[in-house]
Amino acid sequence: MLRRLLVVGLSVLGGLLLIQHALADQQPVASMAIPVGGGGTATATIVLTPTATLTPTAIPTAAPISLDNYLPIVVKAPPPPTATPTPIPTATPIPTATPIPPTSIPPTPTLGTVNPSCDGAASSAAPNYPVAITNVNKAGNPETVTIRNTSNQPVDISNWWICSMTGNQRHAILSGTLAPGQTLVVVSQANGPIWNNTATDPAALYRRDGLQVGYRSQ
């Protein structure tokens, strides 16, 4: 009994080796003699069915990425830099000179009847505006008195007069118009010299209305 089992085991092992060899040589048919009880042998024929060739399964290739499947990316340009405004320098104001108001003189009245008298005392506080006495030529022959327009407007001096105050004598009656800044030399209309050459003899200038506007101590 043990011997039979041993024989069967060796036969099975031999069969397996034969199958392995046939598979290695890719033989479809193999025969093997297997001993059996009573000293006989049995021939076993093994038909090998070739294994079907495996067709490799293609690995699917990933579909290409399409830009149509995605939302477009909008890149917004950065805003232009804001220019820093250049400060405009403030001009320094030019100081305006404060005008010196002229001495107020009443307007000259319309030319009419005048009384060019040199009686009374002359005022040394006369404004010398708009006409001033600038010089008395006592030693001249004839004697002269120089006057000047000290305003910026023409001045009508018609029927104005000049007096020598020491003897209350009239030097001359004036006429015409003085332009701004104009100087006029007035020749004496008296009958001979009237100005004191050895002492102070003030000169006074009067308008046609009798208002004193000029004074000079000389």
pLDDT per residue as tens digits for the range 20-47: 655 555 544 445 555 555 555 555 555 5
- 180 falls within a domain: yes
- 71 falls within a domain: no
Residue 82 binned pLDDT confidence (cut-offs 50, 70, 90):
confident
**3-state SS, residue 187:** strand
- 204 falls within a domain: yes
Burial class (CB in 10 A: 0-12, 13-18, 19+), 186: buried
- 69 falls within a domain: no
pTM: 0.51
- 109 falls within a domain: no
Structure-block tokens of residue 97? 């000179």
- 201 falls within a domain: yes
Place of tokens 């010398």: 128
- 83 falls within a domain: no
State pLDDT tens for residues 140-198: 999 999 999 999 999 999 999 999 999 999 999 999 999 999 999 999 999 999 999 99
Q: What is the DSSP string of 15-63?
A: HHHHHHHHHHHT-SEEEEEEE-GGG-EEEEEEEPPPPPPPPPPPPPPPP
**Checking phi first, is residue 214 left (phi over 0); if not, alpha (psi -120 to 50) or beta?**
beta
User: What DSSP character marks residue 3?
Assistant: H
Half-sphere exposure of 83 (CA within 13 A, CB side): 3
Residue 17 binned pLDDT confidence (cut-offs 50, 70, 90):
low
Beta partners for residue 44, in sequence order: 32
- 10 falls within a domain: yes
Give the β-pairing of 155-156 and 177-178: antiparallel
> What is the domain range of residue 151?
131-216
- Provide the domain count of the chain: 2
Query: In the prediction, which pLDDT does 201 show?
Result: 95
